Amino acid sequence: MIEDEPGLRESIQQYFAGGGNVCEVVADYASALQKINIYRYDCIVLDITLPDGSGLDILENLKINNHPDGVLIVSAKNSLDDRLNGLDMGADDYLVKPFHLSELKARVTSIVRRKSFDGSRTVTFSEIKIDLTAQQVMVHDIILKLTKKEYALLLYFIANKAKVISKNAIAEHLWGDEVDLSDNFDFLYSHIKNLRKKIMDAGGKDYIQSAYGMGYKFTDL
């Protein structure tokens, strides 16, 4: 994680820690450059505007040295130029500040999955098995008929398993953050309810817990 804002750095480290993840953080260009040339990472979260340099130069350095690390750019700027530059230079994804940690986690998870390509392209959570290539979900070998939104929702939950995800984060993930949906998230409820019902109908357990109306948590505990 290369980020000069201490508040954000700590939050991300805290959110990503646990679950067998190792999250290292650096705050400036110089130490970032040092680190990426010594260690290899599954994914590097890269802030473009650093006090002593540009994140894009770090990206360039990675690509020149043929390092295979996944790169997710985070930037306060939503300008198309930055986005295109970043992606053209080989970044895997681009996220605009501010973002929900759950969104960051989902994006990072997706990059890591793609990078650690093991041929099967499947995600497994207890009895739930997701074929990412076919976009197919199976519970106890029974194929679930999920809508696009329900499928995206399930992947989002699994990427953030055991975390409380706010309704805002879910809505923004499913509908994009530019849609001004107001503070009424009743419409989310039916999507959650349908997903839960479909999993349970196929014999799966109820993994979706409501967190005091604040959000939802997908957990097998």
- Residues near other proteins (CB under 8 A) are 5, 7-8, 11-12, 14-15, 76-80, 96-102, 149, 163-164, 166-169, 172, 175-183, 186-187, 189-191, 211-215
For 48, 55, 79, 96, 195, the CA distances from 51, given in Å and listed in that order, are 10, 10, 19, 18, 45
End-to-end CA distance of the chain: 29
Q: Which is nearer to other proteins, 140 or 193 (CB)?
A: 193
Q: CB of residue 219 vs other proteins: minimum separation in angstroms?
A: 12
Q: How far is the CB of 57 from other proteins (least distance, A)?
A: 20
Question: Least distance to other proteins from the beta carbon of 12, Å?
Answer: 7
CB of 83 to other proteins, least distance (A): 10
Question: Whose Cβ is closer to other proteins: residue 90's or residue 98's?
Answer: 98
Q: Decide whether 38 or 221 has the Cβ nearer to other proteins.
A: 221
What 3-state DSSP class applies to 193?
A: helix
Q: In the chain, which ranges are E strands? A: 43-47, 49-50, 53-54, 70-75, 93-96, 122-125, 128-131, 136-139, 142-144, 164-166, 208-211, 215-218
Residue 43 pairs with which residues in a beta bridge? Answer: 70
Smaller CB separation from other proteins, 39 or 189? 189
